[in-house]
């Protein structure tokens, strides 16, 4: 079974430029998460989707970040404009909703460097 | 509020030594899940184990074992006879359970384990 796929793996941009990250979750997983991981820290949730609905975006900086999950499968996370402090690894994870199974499976992440 | 603390920032051992990674958590939920993930240099978080708050049985999987103690709010991870391939950052994480199970993971800061040959 294929895992969570993310692209690109690495991205270097100048500040004030836009950037987008793409995620394809594990087939059949209806819950999708975007996390941000700063250097030396654990991941922190940005947004959670149940199918195509964003049900928890309380930690998404909405002035510059946006996300979508059309048709409840692939998802895109966008930053416009990027700032130096946005440099981090952006992780996508998915889960098949089950009250008794809570583990999430993560993709390899996109390492963003803003110069 | 939920919180996970991994007090050990870095641990260095020599191959074949046993090593224990500590994890202490805080939550007001009566039902919750605890996890350990491994993050090798490649960057991908690899799921290792999930433990339900109602199940305090310790678990062993090969060289890995986990000790869950609700009385001390701890969920420690032991690697027996460590190997160089165990070198990675290990994260402990917590999520709420029951009908409010959103799956949102609260991660600790991580423990970097270096196993030297």
Q: What is the Cα–Cα distance from B89 to A52, expressed in whole angstroms?
A: 32
Query: CB atoms < 10 A from the CB of B68, how many?
Result: 20
**pLDDT 10s digit of each residue in chain A, 115 long?**
689 999 999 999 999 999 999 999 999 898 999 999 999 999 999 999 988 999 888 889 999 999 999 888 999 999 999 999 999 999 999 998 765 566 899 999 999 999 9
Please state the φ and ψ torsions of residue B28, each to the nearest 5 degrees.
-100, -5
Q: What is the Cα–Cα distance from B64 to A49, expressed in whole angstroms?
A: 33
Q: What is the Cα–Cα distance from B64 to B60, expressed in whole angstroms?
A: 6
Beta partners for A10? A111
Q: What is the Cα–Cα distance from A112 to A7, expressed in whole angstroms?
A: 11
Candidate from B44, B45, B95 with C-beta closest to A102: B95
* Cross-chain Cβ contact A33/B103 below 8 Å: yes
Q: Find residues 52-71 of chain A whose CB sits inside 8 Å of chain B.
A: 55-56
Q: Are B102 and A57 in contact (CB under 8 A)?
A: no
- What single DSSP character describes residue A50? E
Query: Considering only CA atoms, which of B90, B95, B93, B94 is closest in space to residue B110?
Result: B90
Q: Return the percentage of chain B with pLDDT > 70, whole number.
A: 95
Question: B102: which chain A residues are within 8 Å (Cβ-Cβ)?
Answer: 48, 55-56
Question: In terms of residues, how long is chain B?
Answer: 117
Q: Indicate which of B4, B37, B45, B101 best probes the interface with A, i.e. most A CBs within 10 Å of its own CB.
A: B45
Question: B97: which chain A residues are within 8 Å (Cβ-Cβ)?
Answer: 102
3-state class (DSSP) for residue B95? strand
Question: A32: which chain B residues are within 8 Å (Cβ-Cβ)?
Answer: none
Question: A109: which chain B residues are within 8 Å (Cβ-Cβ)?
Answer: 43-44
Please state the φ and ψ torsions of residue B40, each to the nearest 5 degrees.
-70, 175
B69-90 confidence digits (pLDDT tens): 999 999 999 999 999 999 999 9
* Cross-chain Cβ contact A89/B43 below 8 Å: yes
Mean pLDDT of B31-39: 93
Question: A55: which chain B residues are within 8 Å (Cβ-Cβ)?
Answer: 102
Widest distance between CA atoms in chain A: 44
Q: Are B90 and B36 in contact (CB under 8 A)?
A: yes
- Measured in angstroms, the CA of B117 and the nearest CA of chain A are apart by 24
3-state class (DSSP) for residue B99? helix
Q: Is A37 exposed, middle or buried (0-12, 13-18, 19+ CB in 10 A)?
A: buried
- Measured in angstroms, the CA of A36 and the nearest CA of chain B are apart by 12
């Amino acid at each position: 079974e294929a895992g969570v796929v993310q692209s690109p793996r690495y991205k270097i941009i100048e500040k004030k430029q836009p950037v987008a990250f793409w995620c394809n979750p594990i087939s059949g997983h209806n819950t999708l998460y975007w996390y941000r991981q700063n250097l030396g820290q654990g991941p922190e949730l940005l947004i959670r989707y149940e199918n195509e609905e964003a049900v928890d975006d309380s930690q998404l900086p909405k002035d510059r970040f946006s996300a979508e999950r059309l048709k409840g499968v692939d998802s895109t996370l966008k930053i416009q404009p990027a700032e130096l402090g946005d440099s981090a690894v952006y992780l996508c994870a998915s889960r098949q909703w089950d009250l008794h199974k809570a583990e999430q499976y993560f993709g390899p992440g996109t390492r963003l460097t803003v110069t | 509020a939920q919180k996970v603390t991994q007090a050990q920032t870095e641990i260095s051992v020599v191959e074949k030594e046993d090593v224990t990674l500590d994890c202490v958590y805080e939550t007001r939920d009566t039902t919750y899940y605890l996890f350990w993930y491994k993050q090798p240099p490649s960057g991908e978080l690899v799921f290792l184990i999930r433990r339900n708050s109602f199940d305090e049985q310790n678990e062993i999987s090969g060289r890995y074992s986990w000790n869950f103690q609700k009385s001390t709010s701890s969920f420690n991870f032991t690697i027996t006879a460590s190997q160089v391939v165990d070198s990675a950052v290990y994260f402990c994480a917590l999520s709420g359970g029951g009908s409010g199970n959103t799956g949102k993971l609260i991660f600790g800061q991580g423990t970097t384990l270096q196993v030297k040959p």
